[in-house]
Amino acid sequence: MSADVRAFQWPLRVYWEDTDAGGIVYYANYLKFFERARTEWLRSLGLAQSELAAQAGLVFVVADVHLRYAAPARLDDALQIQLRLQDFGAASLQVVQHAWLTDAQGAPVTLLCEATVRAGCVQAASLRPARIPAEMRTRISRWAAG
Amino acid sequence: MSADVRAFQWPLRVYWEDTDAGGIVYYANYLKFFERARTEWLRSLGLAQSELAAQAGLVFVVADVHLRYAAPARLDDALQIQLRLQDFGAASLQVVQHAWLTDAQGAPVTLLCEATVRAGCVQAASLRPARIPAEMRTRISRWAAG
Amino acid sequence: MSADVRAFQWPLRVYWEDTDAGGIVYYANYLKFFERARTEWLRSLGLAQSELAAQAGLVFVVADVHLRYAAPARLDDALQIQLRLQDFGAASLQVVQHAWLTDAQGAPVTLLCEATVRAGCVQAASLRPARIPAEMRTRISRWAAG
Amino acid sequence: MSADVRAFQWPLRVYWEDTDAGGIVYYANYLKFFERARTEWLRSLGLAQSELAAQAGLVFVVADVHLRYAAPARLDDALQIQLRLQDFGAASLQVVQHAWLTDAQGAPVTLLCEATVRAGCVQAASLRPARIPAEMRTRISRWAAG
């Protein structure tokens, strides 16, 4: 993925709840961090998942994740989660997400974890694949076009 | 509560996910342990909460918890959760729960955490109080009577 | 506690990770929310717990929590956590914390959960009680005095 | 991987804590399930990670995970986690893990999630790669040889 693909950025902080007895962020918790960033990316486009569920009966479920851990994060670390759209189909989308340790100014300095995440749009009741609503498609496409 | 009140016991193990950077079980996770034991107590009476929700539209929600932490638990520790019924009303129940560290034979040796938990039966959709179904009341009462 | 006791406020958002199959925030997760707010309160006073551990070998552990659940929170809800200092001893402190649902302007509108939390300062290695460092005592006292 | 590779099996139950507002197990929690099974696999070989850390100053950290979600699990579901050793080096190992929904007799009936997990042995203090201790290598090799 070329460096000039548009990125959404979301800051977060490492709390006690995120760490384990090894003194570092527990490996499963990066999936929480990445999910928060996807949710905030959609919210930044005016798309709340609770409304998508209530109004259209649709939810996004993750189908495939590839995680590569590069360095550990610790209590009180300030992180930046980046999200880039990699693929966008009728019923699914794929994003690449990076978790960075940031410096005191909030600039990313050390890569912690990289993930490729594919999520599908499904009917909440049946969990069967469903087309992403047109309005949502438009907003995401416009964002990607920058 | 007298020592001869009937107790339900549930064993569990401390995993990496349960610990924090202090090297001990994160304080919120005892609420997960206590909930597992309440769920297994009901299951031992033939009462599955997923069926209660699907068939009667009812769920139990916790209204009040008092937690007293006595000693820390660590990775790989084997715990025993004890549950005793303290109060049983038409739409709610109160239990006292203890988390014990156990020895190699599974016998409780060190008290880790004690909780008093009051849970109410509510309609899943509205979250309004509802009477505990008669069959459930009967099974719980019989269990308490020993 | 009188309404004019100084309050620290911390905003947060409800994500998928916070909810359970009942469609509401899982009861244990309020303890995570309250811990985040305590951590950010200390950080606002220039006190990072990771430094306290690294430099003085001290951590705070929760000894007692009383939680009262008033109303449920749901996915995408915006919350405000409030913290007020209730008691402040040589080796421990007690705070009262409230989780509020906020409106679109961030103002608290519905009380979700109230907690009284007592935490003690302990040596990280032995978990034995320890005096709160003088500099920390000073900063907390000044904050409380307004 | 051929079907006759030796498998370790670990049963577990889906609790409220594992689910999200979509009514299904939250996607990050399969990483917890898989980690519990890896820990119990090592324990079944007489290898406790807390002892490895205390005695040799070594921990295993996950370097790479590929997760493929096939079907959702729900509250009260009984699962079986399977683990097979795929690759075993001087300082790392790779396992394939499957989460299955089981029937009333505990037999796997529906594949829920599949993961390929690579974990490296590192020094706990520095997180630098370290050789897996000889005794551990022997026990794992013997197990794999069946």
**pLDDT above 90 (res B142):** yes
Specify the amino acid at residue D77.
D
Helix (H, G, I), strand (E, B) or coil at B32: helix
Residue B52 burial (CB count, 10 A): 19
Stated length of chain B: 146
pLDDT at D73: 98
How does DSSP assign D24-88, residue by residue? SB-TTHHHHHHHHHHHHHHHHTT--HHHHHHHH-EEEEEEEEEEEE-S---TT-EEEEEEEEEEE
H, E, C per residue of C21-75: CCCCECCCHHHHHHHHHHHHHHHHCCCCHHHHHHHHCEEEEEEEEEEEECCCCCC
pLDDT at D58: 96
> CA nearest D23 in C: which residue?
C21
Size of interface B-D (CB pairs under 8 A): 44
Residues of B belonging to the active site: 20
The token pair at A100 is: 């960075």
CB contact under 8 A, C23 and D24: no
For C86, residues 6+ apart whose C-beta sits below 8 A from its C-beta are C1, C5, C94, C95, C96, C116
Specify the amino acid at residue B20.
D
Whole-number CA gyration radius for chain B: 16
Q: Which chain A residues are Cβ-neighbours of C74 within 8 angstroms? A: 50
pLDDT band at C3 (very low <50, low <70, confident <90, very high): low
- Nearest CB among C17, C49, C53 relative to A32 is that of C17
Write the pLDDT tens digit of every residue in B32-71: 999 999 999 999 999 999 999 999 999 999 999 999 999 9
Q: What is the mean pLDDT of residues C88-101?
A: 97
pLDDT at B146: 86
pLDDT at A146: 86
Q: Report the alpha-carbon distance of residue C47 to residue C40 in Å, rounded.
A: 9
> CA nearest D73 in C: which residue?
C21
Q: Which chain C residues are Cβ-neighbours of B121 within 8 angstroms? A: none
The token pair at A127 is: 């969990």
Q: Report the alpha-carbon distance of residue C72 to residue C26 in Å, rounded.
A: 9
Q: Report the alpha-carbon distance of residue A102 to residue A121 in Å, rounded.
A: 32
Helices (H) and strands (E) in chain B, counts: 3, 5
Q: Report the alpha-carbon distance of residue D69 to residue A66 in Å, rounded.
A: 11
pLDDT at A59: 95
Give phi and psi for C100, each to the nearest 5.
-115, 140
B29 shares contact with chain A (CB less than 8 Å): no
CB contact under 8 A, D28 and C17: yes
Q: Are C33 and C27 in contact (CB under 8 A)?
A: no
Task: Mutation target for C interface from B59, B69, B113, B128: give the one with most C CBs within 10 A.
Answer: B69
CB contact under 8 A, A64 and D61: no
Burial B97-110 (b: 16+ CB within 10 A, else e): bbbbbbeeeeebee
C76 shares contact with chain D (CB less than 8 Å): no
Q: What is the mean pLDDT of residues B17-45?
A: 97
Point out the residues of chain A with pLDDT beneath 50.
Answer: none
Alpha-carbon dihedral angle through residues D82, D88, D90, D91, given to the nearest 10 degrees:
-40
- CA angle at D15 for the pair C78 and C65, rounded to the nearest 5°: 60
Q: Which domains does chain B have, with CATH numbers?
A: 8-145 (3.10.129.10)
Write the pLDDT tens digit of every residue in A117-135: 999 999 998 999 999 999 9
Residue whose entry in the numeric block shows the structure tokens 């479920």 = A61
pLDDT at D50: 94
The token pair at B96 is: 């006292």
pLDDT at A82: 98
Query: Given its phi and psi angles, is residue B74 left (phi above 0), alpha (psi -120 to 50 degrees) or beta?
Result: beta
pLDDT at C6: 96
- Nearest CB among D22, D28, D61 relative to A59 is that of D22
Smallest CA–CA separation between D21 and chain B, in Å?
13
Point out the residues of chain D with pLDDT beneath 70.
Answer: 1-3
Residues of D belonging to the active site: 20
For chain A, the average pLDDT equals: 96
Q: Are C111 and C126 in contact (CB under 8 A)?
A: no
pLDDT at D67: 98
The ipTM, to two decimals, is: 0.96
Does the model's pTM come out above 0.95?
yes
